[in-house]
Structure formats: structure tokens, C-alpha cells
Amino acid sequence: MEENFFKGVVTPMVTPFQADGSLDLPALETFSNWLCTRETDILFPMGGTGEYQTLEVEERKDIIRTVVAAVEKRKKVVPGVGGKNLRETLVLVEEAQKVGADGVSVVIPTDLSEFSRDLGTYYGKAKNDFETLFQYFRKIDRELDVPFMIYDSHGQLTEPQMREFVAELPHFKGIKYRTANEQDFGEIVWASGGTVNILSGIEYTYLGNLAMGATGVVGGGANYFPHLMARLKREFEAGQIENARNTQFLLIAAGKSMKGLSWPMSAKIILRKLGLPIQLVTRVKNKPHTEAREQQMLDFILPLCQSQTEENR
């Protein structure tokens, strides 16, 4: 088991849909191949950007199989496998391991009541929410032969809880920790003891997170300009702090250019303009926006996406 690969740029992939809302697996294959030519280290299908909440189990299996087969070990593939209940999660864990995924990502559930009932089969009544959560991850850990990443999209885990997870879950090797609070982020890095890699969950605070010990970033912008996030890390590690700060400011400005547009529709608009066969279809609800507002975003974002060609010369 390779334990130390939760680092660098992690792309939480958009999920392509056809006009009727069904999965577009050929487009997903094309997108996976395209990302393999970019400066991303891990392909992460079925995170929040991938609208995993809207997908059925069989659709999620199809996505895992499609991405793993398309990538052919050119990049690491870590699919999101967190389900609506423990049984669903374990089915997806089994599928990911069977087809050769390099690891899996498991989201912290927002509602633990269903999981508490499931876990009662194995452990008796959970004492509290954290106990339920711990037992949930322990059950998953016992089924794994590959490392897993916890997807903490709200910065929920505390420093003492992190220490318990690190001590008790041998396959726990990475966490996406999303918080703008540098103290909270630092405490999670500290609690990891250097045995679990901490990934920044917000590309707009990536530089500060790197200073705290982040090993990489999970950012939606990695769908179309992962090279900017890779560049920021290189600049930081080379001690080119002013350059790194300017790259961070560029990422912040990119985020501001998308204000008022729905995610991940905005990402799909960008990718389609870059020539990828991705329909402007999401299953999550979108806010209306004007063509002028969309064009303002594209005028700012597209040159940043196209700058990768120049950087690679």
C-alpha cells in the first residue's frame, strides 16, 4: 500500500451529464484523458463538485470504472465513495478496490442518524455523534487494502478527534480539511503527527495552508487551471514568497470573477469553452445568470487556463 501520495494538486472532477440528465460516460473518459495531460496529481471523481449526492450507486460504479480505465495509472485515482448509509459506502469501497483505484475518499456525513442505525448492527448504540462517526470510519478502514482520505468539507474534526483517528485508523492517510481559520488548520496538521497528509480544502487560502504544513490542495479550479496551483506550491517550496503570493492573489481574483454564478455549472461552462465535450447540464439546482455575467467570467478565466501551454514550453 502506497501511503504518502495525498499531496500536490487534487482535482475534484465535474461529472458530465447528457442533455436528458443521464451520465455521459464518453465525455467523462475524454475529460479524464485531458486531465492526465495537465499538472494535476490525483483525479478525484465524485466529490462535491462531482454532484455525488445526486448519483445512484450503479452510476457511481460506472464512474469509478470509467475513470480508472481511462487513466491507466498515469495519475492517481481516488474516487469519492461516501454513500447514503454504511452499506452503500461499503459497496462502493469494494468496487473501487476491485477495479484498481489507488485510494478512496470518504465524506463526513451531514446526518449521522442513518449511520447510527447501521452501526448498531455491529457495535450497539452509539454514545454520541463523534462515536458514531469514529465507528463508521473504523468499519470502512477494516475493509480497505488502499489508503483513504477523509473529506471534511466543513472543518468539523477537532484536534483531539484527529489524534484519535490517526491512532486508530491505519489506512487513514489523508484529509481534505476545508476551513479559512488558520488556527484550526494548524491544529489539524499538528494533530496528524506527520503520518496523515493534510490537504487544503480552499484554493483561495492555499498559500497560508502551505505555510501551516499542507501537502496539497483540493480545489475546484483544478478542473481547468491546475497548473496555477502546482506553480504556487513550487514557488512556496523554492522560497519565492512574493511570486507565490502573486499566484495566490490570481487564484483569489479568479474566484471573485465567478461570483454570482452557480457551481459546478460555471466549471462546465469553462470546460466547454476549452473544447471539452461537456454539456451545460447539472443535477444540482442553478441560479439564473446573464450572458454578460458569464462572459465577464470567461474573459478572466480563459486566459489563465490557456497560460499552461506557455508555462510548459
> Mean pLDDT per segment of 10 residues, for the chain of length 313 residues?
85 98 98 98 97 97 98 98 93 98 93 69 59 92 97 92 96 96 96 96 97 97 98 98 98 96 98 98 95 97 80 46
Pairing label, strands 172-177, 148-152: parallel
pLDDT of amino acid 40: 98
User: Is the residue at 283 inside a domain?
Assistant: no
CA distance 6 to 4: 6
262: in domain: no
State the residue for C-alpha cell 463526513: 108
Strand order in the sheet with 76-77: 76-77, 42-45, 8-13, 216-218, 197-200, 172-177, 148-152, 104-107
Q: Is residue 242 part of a domain?
A: no
**Is 176:153 a contact under the CB 8 Å cutoff?**
yes
Any domain includes 168: yes
pTM (predicted TM-score): 0.94
Where in the sequence is the domain holding 26, given as residue range(s)?
8-229
Q: Which residue has the cell 476551513?
A: 179
Amino acid 310: pLDDT: 45
Which pLDDT score, from 0 to 100, does residue 308 have? 66
Asked if the structure places residue 244 within a domain, the reply is: no
- CA 229 → CA 1, 16, 164, 193, 269, distances in Å? 27, 23, 31, 25, 20
Domain count, the chain: 1
Is the residue at 186 inside a domain?
yes
Q: Indicate whether 120 belongs to any domain.
A: yes
Report the CATH number at residue 212. 3.20.20.70
Nearest one of 91, 93, 104, 101 to 71, comparing CA atoms: 101
Q: Which residue has the cell 489507488?
A: 102
Question: Is there a domain that residue 272 lies in?
Answer: no
Cα 180 to Cα 32, 139, 268, 274, distances in angstroms:
30, 30, 26, 30
Residue 174 and residue 199 in contact, taking contact as beta carbons nearer than 8 Å:
yes
**Cis omega before residue 264 (within 30°)?**
yes
Phi, psi of 218, rounded to the nearest 5 degrees: -110, 105
- Separation of alpha carbons 303 and 289, rounded Å: 22
User: Residue 140: which of 108, 99, 100 has the closest Cα?
Assistant: 108
